[in-house]
Each structure stands twice: as structure tokens, then as C-alpha cells.
Structure 1
């Protein structure tokens, strides 16, 4: 737990990692965490926990991509809503047919350009899927059409609602954690914290592979990822 750069921080790294792990694992607010830590004899302000989450969670998410297990080639893609500064933003997400997380992207708009950015990101990280199931969104279909331009083996699109039940159900795990957060204060903080929530969700689904992880608790898997950061 001592690999993170904690220069300028007056709390030990184990306290920092416990706080941010709890925040992205359970439906808690920063003030809840402040109270919980106080009960354990650690006096930390909720604003400090917020800064730690914004600083360290995207680093842990970046490391997790190096250790992520392969995903399937049949994707289910959908977007859900996240409130940022009182306005709805859009979290694009996809899972494979087994429910494993493929990728995610927070965007300010819900349109063809945003959907294509999501597909470009997911394909760059995981390769081209054979087929993608989605809802009847014209913007999402247009994004896949744009991706398919010039390809000899285009991605098959299936706009059948029941096929997307698995990704819609998967959204609930993310929304359960974000609900007590009430309202993100900035787009950047929302993006960074959602990255941490998605990492913990993938750990719970057995998607991360570091030596010995099969015998580790979910908590220790999170700390093992943090320990990879230089």
C-alpha cells in the first residue's frame, strides 16, 4: 500500500486508500465517511476525502486496464444518466453477453459524436466486436455505421430491447453507489470518481488479474492495483 506518491499529504496511505475504497464500494457520502473515520479515531475532513478520490481513483483505473481479463465479442451497449452540477450528463457503458464490463465513458452530450467516441475508446482497448446490441437510438446506430465505414467485416448491430436487459441491470450497480453522492460538483470530478466505481465493480465481477488475486479479498485486490502505481 505504499507505492502511491503521497507527497504533501499528512495522512498515511492506508487511511487514504480505505476511505476512497469505501467511497466507491458502498453507497456512502463523504460526510458519512468523515463520521465513520471519526468513530475509528481518525479526524479527517470530508473535503480531504473528496480530493483523495479525485486524485487517486483515475490512477488506479488506469492501472486496472493493464490487468483486465479479456472480454467477449458480443457487446450490449447503453447509456445512463449522471447528474453533474445540477444538469444531466451521460454515462455510456457496455458489457459482454456474460455481463463483464467492456468500457465506459462520461459525456456532456448524448448524440452520435459522443456514442462514436465511446465505441472508438472501447474498440481501441478491446478490439472490434462481432456484434453490438443496443436500443432503438438513432444516434447510437449512426455511430456504429460510422465505425463500420470501409470495413470488410462490419460490426453486426442488433436493436432488440430484451438483449440489452443485461447492461440495463448492470447500470444499477453503478447508480446504487452514485445515488448518495447527490450531485457531482464538476465534470472532471464525476469522471474520476466514476472510474473508481467502475474498477470496484469489475473487481467484484472477477475481471482483474494480478498474481495471487484469486485468493485475495475484494479489498486487497483494490489495494494491489493501487500498489502498482509508481
Structure 2
């Protein structure tokens, strides 16, 4: 059963304006009057009462569309680590990405060892609620040792070329920050 589409029929403003106003109101701790003021700065004259009505009418539907899919037993996690410099000292940014390229978790640690990999896996299990079908990593042996301790039943593939999803996700994140 597919979700019904949102109807903007009989609304004076385009759907993009309505969606942006509702998003601003629910995403950030802003009052209706502040959202009204922000839209006014962009040349859109709309009253705070209209924004309130939009929030009541469209808010639940937007939230339903934005909710992330539930973790399943068929998920595949791609894990990777990269060195980052913080305050002149090297640290390791450990990342987990799902098969769709969405970041599941990130953690910055001083070390690049089994204890650090184990900490990432434990955090992921707590956050996701259940273990994946498979994890894909680069050739770092710490992942295998940590996986044996934390989730021994999960399939582990360790190959440089297979982990491109996590590597690409990291590159996309760095390009957005530039």
C-alpha cells in the first residue's frame, strides 16, 4: 500500500514554499513569527497563522515521508576509517554507511585498533537495534577481530574494492564542507 500524495490544491502558494515553511518550523526551534519573518526576507509575504495552518495540515504527512526505513536483518553495513587532524593531532574518523549510502554512525577516536573498531560496532548495534546480514570493510584487521567479539554470526567481507560505498560517502561529505 503506497502513501497518499500530499495535495496542495486550493493553496495560493507553491508547494515548495509551503514545504519550506513547514520544514523550518518543525526542524528548528523557531516560532511561527520567526518563520514568517524569514520568509518575508526572501520576499514571500505570508502570515504566521497561515504557517500554523500549514503545519497542522501538512506536518504529519511530511514527518511520515521523512521517517527513515526501519533496520532489517537484510541490511549491509560498509565500515571505513580515515585520519583527520583536530587541533594539530591526528584522530581517526570511523564511519558506518548502509547499502543506500546513508550514514548510520560516525565516531572520532584517538586510536585505530580493535578496541576502537569494537566500540563502533557496539554503538551501531545499540543504535540500529539488530545486526546486519553482512559488513563490508577495507583490509584493516581490527574489523575482523572486533566482529568476532561483538557479532560472530554476521558475514564479513574484507576487500579494498568492495568498500567503495563508505569511501564515496566520505568524499561526498568532504565536498559538501568545502
Shared fold (TM-score, shorter chain, > 0.5) = yes
Structure 2: 5+ residue stretches without partners:
1-24, 36-66
Please name the residue that 1:137 is paired with: 140
1:110-153 deviations in Å (ceiling 9; x for gaps): 1111111111111111121111010111111111111135xxxx
Please name the residue that 1:69 is paired with: 69
Q: Distance in 1 between matches of 2:159 and 2:113?
A: 20
Across the aligned residues of Structure 1 and Structure 2, the Cα RMSD in angstroms comes to: 2.9
Structure 1: 5+ residue stretches without partners:
6-12, 15-66, 181-230
Q: Give how far 1:98 is off.
A: 2.2
Bigger share in helix: 1
1:35-93 deviations in Å (ceiling 9; x for gaps): xxxxxxxxxxxxxxxxxxxxxxxxxxxxxxxx543356111111122210111211111
Match of 1:100 among 89, 96, 102: 102
Q: Distance in 2 between matches of 1:99 and 1:177?
A: 15
Please name the residue that 1:119 is paired with: 121
Q: Secondary structure at the match of 2:162?
A: helix
Q: Secondary structure at the match of 2:69?
A: coil
Q: Pick the structure with greater CA Rg.
A: 2
Q: Give how far 1:102 is off.
A: 1.8
Question: What TM-score, normalized to structure 2?
Answer: 0.58
Q: Distance in 2 between matches of 1:140 and 1:88?
A: 20
